[in-house]
Structures are given as structure tokens and as C-alpha cells.
Amino acid sequence: MAALAHELLAAASVAGRICVGLVFLLAAVQKAMHWRVLAGVIANYRLLPRGMEVPAAALLPPAEVVLAILLLSAQLRPWSAWMAMALLGMFALAMAINIKRGRADIDCGCGETFLRQPLNWVLVARNAMLAAVLLPSLLMTAAPMAMSLALSGVAAGLGLFLLYLLLNILAALPPLDARGHRFA
């Protein structure tokens, strides 16, 4: 029974790293594609001292790429998972602070400009869930695993990433009116 639990934990560790690694990679690419507005998005949060938005915007996409590579390649375990969880927590905290301040109308800046999303508690929970899928990575050692187990973890991670994309699209849809039509 302990061997089965260890195998499930190992597969969950791979799945979490693949999913969150792909999320960070996608976010970095999208932020880099729209780098001209990223400093403004960061400034909208009103959390950094004036003048720090441009350096933060310059550092954020490369930091996300580095984290993505570390997670996807299983390097620096468990530190890469800790760093990713810290960054996700920082994003969630920034959103929560602004929601509490009554500033939920600003764009989350999550990277997907065609899915402009105002801040809400669902986005905060989403970041918490992304951090939570990395928890098994904190418990696993760098011991070798069977190829079938590793491939199962990769497939599960890809599935989680696709679910993440689907839920982001659904969350960004405008609400329905009383007749079932979408508000524009």
C-alpha cells in the first residue's frame, strides 16, 4: 500500500510541475508579447513604489520563463516549486489586496489580453489551486521513477493545463442576461 501511495505522489508531483510550468511559460510569452502595457498593468495594482513598475515589468517575464524551465525539467527540486508557489502567492495577495480596497475593476494582468478579467476571488482561488498542485513536489525526492509513471504524470499535467485554459476562458465570458444572452 505504501508503494502505491508513493507512486501516486510521484505522478502527482510530475503532473503539478508540468501544469504550473506550462502556466508560467504561457504567461511569460503573453506578457512578453504585450510588454508595452505590462508596466501599466502592474502600476494599476498600486502596490509598488512609483518608478518600480518598469523594472518589475522587465523582470517578470524572464522570471516566469526561468521558473517554467525549472519546473518542466525538474531542476532545483523542491526549490523551484517553493519559488513558483511564492510567486503565485504574491500574485494572489496583490489581487486580494486590491479586491479588499474596492479596486476589483482593474485587469488581473494574467497575460491573456483577449481574456481581460477584472479581479475577483475566483482568480485568487485559481492561484491558490495552482500553488496547491505543487505540494506533492515538496514531498518527493529526486529518486528515479518508472517511465510509465513519469509519462502518466506528464499526461495528467497536460490534462490539468488544458483544464486550466478551459476554466480561464469560461471565467472570462461575459455574464448571461435574463434571456440567456451574453452581455457585450
Residue 53 lies in a domain: yes
Residue 82 lies in a domain: yes
Phi, psi of 17 (to 5 degrees): -65, -40
Could you write out the three-class secondary structure of the chain?
CHHHHHHHHHHHHHHHHHHHHHHHHHHHHHHHHCHHHHHHHHHHCCCCCCCCHHHHHHHHHHHHHHHHHHHHCCCCCCHHHHHHHHHHHHHHHHHHHHHHCCCCCCECCCCCHHHCCECCHHHHHHHHHHHHCCHHHHHCCCCCCCHHHHHHHHHHHHHHHHHHHHHHHHHHCCCECCCCCECC
Residue 37 lies in a domain: yes
Segment 58-75 mean pLDDT: 94
pLDDT at 4: 80
Omega into 175 within 30° of 0, i.e. cis? no
- Max Cα-Cα span within the chain: 56
Mean of pLDDT over the chain: 89
Residue 33 lies in a domain: yes
User: What is the domain count for the chain?
Assistant: 1
Residue 180 lies in a domain: no
Residue 183: which pLDDT band, with cuts at 50, 70 and 90? low
Q: pLDDT tens for residues 17-51? A: 999 999 999 999 998 888 888 999 999 999 999 99
Q: pLDDT tens for residues 135-172? A: 999 987 666 788 888 899 999 999 999 999 998 888 77
Residue 101 lies in a domain: yes
Cβ pair 45, 119 in contact under 8 A: no
What is the domain range of residue 73?
13-138
Mean pLDDT: which of 83-92, 102-111, 171-180 is highest? Answer: 83-92
Residue 176 lies in a domain: no
Query: What's the pTM?
Result: 0.89
Residue 164 lies in a domain: no
